[in-house]
Amino acid sequence: MIAAQLPSIGDPSHLRVEEIPTPEPAAGEIRVRVRAAALNRRDAFITRGLYPGIALPCTPGSDGCGVVDALGAGASGPRIGEEVVIDPMLGWGAERRIWADGSGILGMPHPGTLAQFVCVPAANVYAKPAHLDIDRAAALPLAGLTAYRALITRAHLRAGETVLIPGIGSGVQSFALLFAKAIGARTIVTSSSDEKLARARTLGADVTVNYAADPQWFKALKSAGAIDVAIDGSGGETFARILDLVRPGGRVAIYGGTGGDAKIRPFSIFWKQLDVLGSSMGSPEDFRDMLALVSEKRIEPVVGAVFPLADLVAAVERLESGANFGKIVVTVG
């Protein structure tokens, strides 16, 4: 089969598209013929050695949509030929609250979805939401799961509440906006790009703020009404500001730290009785509930760009540029 390979770390230019042996499903596994995959920051970080436990060579890619191609011994689930999406979280464990030691994510060290075929546990394979095409379904798994768990499982966002979504445009934050609107919440989003803010308004954002154009952006947010929930993936100064902005008794869910460490004021947390909630990826229950919400509300993932597998390096460079809104999809099959 044809697959992406990362033989060494350095930067995205180290990625190769090569012919490697087609995998055979082990007992309890399903082999999926991948039609489309999608990129995540994790893929770019791995190429640069900025991810723990890197094992090379590897086939990257955590998101995928395709058709069931073969069943390993004892495997049950979707039938051969059925269109499916893959839950990229491997070995979450029995407790929904926290992931188990030894759990992992599809795409390193376990071979990932940037390949014509991938074998995964049968429990990780789900019927594709019927209203989605292949590209949009491929965009859904990792970012959708991360956003759903942070926003709904952990922060318990409810209809009528106001949620702050800083850094709109990333895959996870785009899903956070879609999910929040789907359940009837009011949304406030920020970005340094007027173009991204305009795009967010077409998706239902109620309030938009350009933090680059307005050095006092946090004051503008304070005048936009009480903020019940905030969801952040950057950390750094943004996270510190969020703690000051959320109303007393509010909830803050954080799932990443691309902006570095945050210097925070404990006063902002204890005086306002805030709940600060760590979140990452999601359990099998989260994935099932996320798919149910997407299907019930006919949510359409935002795809900002589509590349063929042969142009994978350009696709990852596009991801790193920060210019994209939503997900970057890579066609495979």
> CA separation (Å) from 258 to 238, 253, 304?
11, 15, 21
pLDDT tens digit at each of 333 positions of the chain: 999 999 999 999 999 999 999 999 999 999 999 999 999 999 999 999 999 999 999 999 999 999 999 999 999 999 999 999 999 999 999 999 999 988 999 999 999 999 999 999 999 999 999 999 999 999 999 999 999 999 999 999 999 999 999 999 999 999 999 999 999 999 999 999 999 999 999 999 999 999 999 888 888 888 889 999 999 999 998 899 999 999 999 999 999 988 888 888 899 999 999 999 999 999 999 999 999 999 999 999 999 999 999 999 999 999 999 999 999 999 997
The CATH H-level superfamily of 2-142+299-331 is Medium-chain alcohol dehydrogenases, catalytic domain (3.90.180.10)
Residue 85: name the closest of 66, 102, 72 by CA: 66
Residue ranges of domains in the chain: 2-142+299-331, 156-278
Question: Which class does domain 156-278 fall in?
Answer: alpha beta
Tokens of 117: 């075929």
Measured at the CA of 308, the angle between CA 302 and CA 309, to 5 degrees, comes to 110
> CA separation (Å) from 178 to 188, 248, 328?
12, 25, 17
